[in-house]
Amino acid sequence: MLERKLDLLTVDLNVTTDSNGVDTISLPPLAPNNFKITSTLAEPGIDVNIQPAWELYKQMENKRTVTVAVIDTGIDATHPDLADSMWVNPGEIPGDGIDNDGNGYIDDVNGWNFLDNNNVLYSGEIDSHGTHAAGTIAASRDDGGIAGIADNHFVKIMSLKALGGENGQGTPETVMAAIRYAEANGAQICNLSFGSQGCTEEMAAMMKASNMLFIVASGNGDENQIGYNIDQDPVYPASLPYDNILTVGNLMFNGKLDRSSNYGPVSVDIAAPGTYILSTIPDKGYAFMSGTSMAAPMVTGHCSYGLLCKARVKCHRR
């Protein structure tokens, strides 16, 4: 991988001072020698080694369905790689305007939008983040697109929109409502590709008490995208110390953590590929994205395999 970065040591900045003594700094015209190129070489074997797992999986009998709740932005469920990967609420009749299963949500066929309190799970480009995560976990195979980690015949994606807007933000209330819904409707795994500097006691207690497995992104560093120790400076829910929370860092293809990936010997459990990950985006598209938000779905897909082949798996809480 080649990266092109501005080398400030080679740039003479233009500084002007106005009548009030305020400095304005601007860049001069840049030339090729103002940039430096760094390269990162891939190491053989630094990958998820999924093909042998797929071969072993084919030999397994008595597979069961696993439901993965993606608590994120919305998901474009019409994407060709995702249309057959979505969880379908068996107790709901699509489009009839009735809460058929009596769970308090009308026409919650594939999940629920907790930001707007409706069943509109997809609004366009702002739902790229969740759509990308869903594709990594369980995009369909052999259809000319990408291949998700898990088998979408048995692993189904429950779309729970708790983040939104240009910055993909949510609130503890929307996330907690999504967690309640996920557990009440049979999800076994929750993918949480987000983080915050704070966490309410109610949310921490809810996650601790849950029988679901939470796969959580460790976070992408400080304002300069330099990863830091979240044992010392916690990020939530990644830093919560519960056995049903698996926190994921971003592993580069040279076998080292990406410099933006948060870390912590206590808080961060595992690292997975998260740089330049190709997956689904809205409007039948595909795109590369990078970050621990991309690494977490890799682990979610693998964990779903464990549940597929094990009839009795339960998270033990401290």
CA dihedral of 135, 130, 216, 303, whole degrees rounded to 10: -30
**Cα–Cα distance, 242 to 80 (Å, whole number):** 37
Is 153 designated active site? Answer: no
Is 129 designated active site? Answer: yes
* 3-class DSSP string for 110-165: CEEECCCCECCCCCCHHHHHHHHHHHHHHCCCCCCCCCCCCCCCCEEEEEEECCEC
Task: Name the active-site residue from 72, 107, 108, 127.
Answer: 72
Task: Name the active-site residue from 159, 193, 293, 304.
Answer: 293
**DSSP letters for the chain:** -EEEEE-GGG---EEEE-TTS-EEEEPPPP-GGGEEEEE-PPPTT-S--HHHHHHHHHT--S---EEEEEEES---TTSTTTTTTB---TT--TTSSS-TT-SS-TT-SSEEETTTTBS----SGGGHHHHHHHHHHH--SSSSS---SS-TTTEEEEEEE--BTTTTB--HHHHHHHHHHHHHTT--EEEE---BS---HHHHHHHHH-SSEEEEE----STT----BTTTS--BTTT---TTEEEEEEE-TTSSB-TT--B-TTT--EEEE-SSEEEEETTTEEEEE-SHHHHHHHHHHHHHHHHHH-S---PPP-
Is 76 designated active site? Answer: no
Task: Name the active-site residue from 79, 108, 129, 279.
Answer: 129
The catalytic residues are 72, 129, 293
